Structure 1
Amino acid sequence: MKLYSIRLIIFCLSVFLSNAALAQTTLSSQDRKESKDASETKTLLKGGVSPKIKSFGLSFSPLVQFGQLGPQQGGILALHLNNKWEIGAGFLGSLRHRNEIYSNDLRQQFSALSLAYTPNANKLVHLSFPLMIGVIRYQDEMMLASMPGQGGRYDNFYWRNGRNAFGLQPGINAELNVHKYIRLFAGANYRLAIGKDELPELSGLSGQVGLKVGFFNHKINHKK
């Protein structure tokens, strides 16, 4: 694995973790100011005087990705907390109907836990820091060669019995609030593949464009 790839991953993870630490520090400061009773026990879901979860949302994001990994498409289903944090599940896979015979791109699928931090989501244009952690499954050329007929190339058999590697994909996106329930985003990311079956074709830099549809900041009325 090239040294610059490792440095890029370390830098992206550092940005994500530093933003997380900053958010936690800010929340802690607010808790100290708002709390009337410092001895009262606070919890994540129901925190008495100053609850941690003040709003929630749910969104689905269809997206396309292009770059060193070839053209891919997929989507992310995410839960939003406090209009800053996102946690959910995502999927990306090579375009099924591209030219399989003349394309040198390794056909692959990426199923992952999806995390994101958006520090200023209420601004018209803002940044988001996504992170996907999961499994990359890819076609085994030796298995394809042993399968009879060209139609076997489009069969799901080799996905169920193919090879896989651990995948880590940090990135950065610019988001535009088109509507209260719609956001457009575009950005860049780098996928790193790790494991016994890791191949150079599984790691690479990609661009990404997509659409977030849902509600993002539904306020929670905590009873006092």
Structure 2
Amino acid sequence: MVKKSLIISLILAASTFVNAQTYMDTNDPKDEEVKSLLSKKNDLNAFGAADLKVGDLNGERGLLVGAYGGFIINRRYLFGVAGYGLVTNVEFEGLVPGQTETKQLNLHGGYGGVIIGGTIAPKELIHISFPIILGAGSLEVVDKDFFVNNPADSEFTVENTVFFVAEPGIEVEFNITKYFRLGAGMTYRYVSGTELENVEDEDISGTTALISFRFGRF
């Protein structure tokens, strides 16, 4: 809970700072035009990125691989879509419906949604960004040895569910070239709405460390 509160506090503070900085940079008492993000005067650039995220899922360390893309407005505001999938084997002791003894089960799944964010001092060599993902995901609990007499396809989905996800984060970014940025940071993945016997919301919520590779015109 401490890590979650710290990340959310940092994002709120940074959002206030970014808005204040934008106002100071662009406010002109002589200019009475209403300013907006989608104004023709704004600088709009497309970008794409790939992420690696490592964190605990149901008590086991897991690797999530994903990508996101969209637009950056005035080098500072980010809008796009993102998607991530679990690529490592996450095993745990669980129950198969109709059975009384626990056995080794596996988690499969992923999530995605809208990504928004802001960046402080984007022209500097090293700067900070604050992305947040809002969306949904799906999760399956799988028994890999359910059909013992069919080794070619022995997997069986024990249960599955969909869920809501909100994932705020903080990243330190490095301007490697004009078209490439490398980032590292952490996020807190908040999950709600799972309906499983073997896994609860808290089991797949938690902090992740990430490395990000972003390409575009910055």
Partner Cα distance (1:185, 1:105) in 2 = 31
Tell me the equivalent position of 1:82: 74
Tell me the equivalent position of 1:221: none
Kindly tell me: are residues 206 and 30 of structure 1, through their superposed partners in 2, closer, same or farther at Cα, counting changes over 3 Å?
closer
Q: Which of 170, 191, 194 is 2:189 aligned to?
A: 191
Query: One-letter code of the match for 1:169?
Result: E
TM-score, with structure 1 as normaliser: 0.73
- Contact 2:82/2:112 (<8 A) preserved: yes
Tell me the secondary structure at the aligned position of residue 111 of structure 2: strand
Q: Does 1:56 align with 2:48?
A: no
Tell me the equivalent position of 1:26: 21
- Contact 2:105/2:141 (<8 A) preserved: no
- Contact 2:140/2:161 (<8 A) preserved: yes
Percent identity between matched residues is 23
Q: Does 1:121 align with 2:116?
A: no
Deviation at 1:164, TM superposition (A): 1.2
- Contact 1:75/1:90 (<8 A) preserved: yes
Tell me the equivalent position of 1:207: 209
Deviation at 1:21, TM superposition (A): 2.9
After the TM superposition, which residues 54-203 of structure 1 pair with which residues of structure 2 at under 5 Å, given as runs? 55-69=43-57, 70-95=62-87, 98-99=88-89, 106-141=107-142, 151=153, 153=155, 162-197=160-195, 198-203=200-205
Higher mean alpha-carbon deviation, 198-207 vs 102-111, is at 102-111
Kindly tell me: are residues 174 and 27 of structure 1, through their superposed partners in 2, closer, same or farther at Cα, counting changes over 3 Å?
closer
More helix by share: 1
- Contact 2:3/2:207 (<8 A) preserved: no
Tell me the secondary structure at the aligned position of residue 123 of structure 1: coil
Deviation at 1:44, TM superposition (A): 4.4
Query: One-letter code of the match for 2:16?
Result: A
Tell me the secondary structure at the aligned position of residue 169 of structure 1: strand
Give the superposed CA RMSD: 3.2
More strand by share: 2
Tell me the equivalent position of 1:13: 8
Query: One-letter code of the match for 1:213?
Result: F
- Contact 1:106/1:201 (<8 A) preserved: no
Kindly tell me: are residues 21 and 105 of structure 1, through their superposed partners in 2, closer, same or farther at Cα, counting changes over 3 Å?
farther
Unaligned 5+ runs, structure 1: 217-224
Deviations 1:156-199 (A, max 9, x none): xx6xx931111111111111111000011111111111125353
Partner Cα distance (1:14, 1:99) in 2 = 33
Q: Which of 6, 27, 30 is 1:36 aligned to?
A: 30
Deviation at 1:210, TM superposition (A): 2.0
Deviation at 1:117, TM superposition (A): 1.2
